[in-house]
Amino acid sequence: MTGSRTGPSGFIHSLEETLIALLLGLMTAITFANVIARFVFNSNILWALELTVFLFAWLVLLGASYAVKVHAHLGVDAIINMLGAPARRAVGLFAVGCCLVFSLLLLKGAYDYWAVFADLPPTSGRWFPTGFDMKARSQSFYEVQDVPMVSFLRFLEDLINYGEAYEKLPKVVPYLVLPVSMLLLVFRFIQAAMQIARGEADRLVASHEVEDEIAEVQAQRGEHD
C-alpha cells in the first residue's frame, strides 16, 4: 500500500501502516503465548485477554481513520456511477459533510468520556460543546482490571493521581485512543472533502480497484500480443 511514497507524507503513511501491523502482531503474539501457557504449562497470563481487547480497540479505531485516508471503506456506488461528474462531486461532498458532522459528534463524546480519566474537565452541552464542565468529578484513580502498571508511566501518579500509586494500568492510557482516533477521523474526512472539491476524487469509497487492476493487466497483455 505504501507504493513509492517518499517525503513527510510517505513517512507518515508508512508509520500508520507500521503501527497497525504492530498492533495486529502484538495481539497475535500475546494470544499465542497465552494458549501455550494454558495447554503446555497449565498456567495463565492473567492480563493477556484484557490487553488483547485494548489492542484490538486501538487497531479498529486507528484503522477506521486510515481506511478513510486510503478510500478502503466499503460502499455502494451503483447510483453514483449513473450520475454525471458534477452530480457525483455534489453527492460526494454531501456524503463527506454528513460523515464530518458525525465524526465531530463522536469526537466530543470520545473526549468527554476520556477527559474524566485524565483529570480534565469534559465539555458541556448535549450535542455541541458550549464550554467546559468544571464541576465534573475526576476519575483519574480508575484502573483497568488486570493489566499491571508499567514503570515508565509512573509519572502519571504525580501528574493526574495526586501522588497516589497505581497498582494496575490507569484507564486514561488505553482510553486515550478514543479522542485521538476521532480527531484523526475528523482530519481524514476534511482531507477527503478537499480531494473531492479539487476534483481529485468524486466519492469517499473506491470499490472497483480489482476491476481496474484486471482491466490494466488485460490491456498490458493486449499490448504484448
Q: pLDDT for 127-147, tens place per residue?
A: 888 889 988 899 999 999 999
Place of cell 476519575: 139
Which pLDDT value is given to residue 58?
95
Which residue numbers in the chain have pLDDT < 70?
1-13, 206-225
Rounded to a whole number of angstroms, the CA Rg of the chain reads 22
Reading the block at residue 146, the C-alpha cell is 488486570
Residues in Cβ contact with 104 at an 8 Å cutoff, skipping those fewer than 6 apart: 186
Which pLDDT value is given to residue 30?
94
The amino acid present at 178, given as its one-letter code, is L
The CA distance from 121 to 81, in Å, is 47
The whole model's pTM is what?
0.81
The CA distance from 62 to 181, in Å, is 5
The CA distance from 122 to 137, in Å, is 10
Give the three-state DSSP class for 148. strand
Which pLDDT value is given to residue 21?
92
Which pLDDT value is given to residue 8?
47
Q: Are 147 and 209 in contact (CB under 8 A)?
A: no
Which pLDDT value is given to residue 161?
94
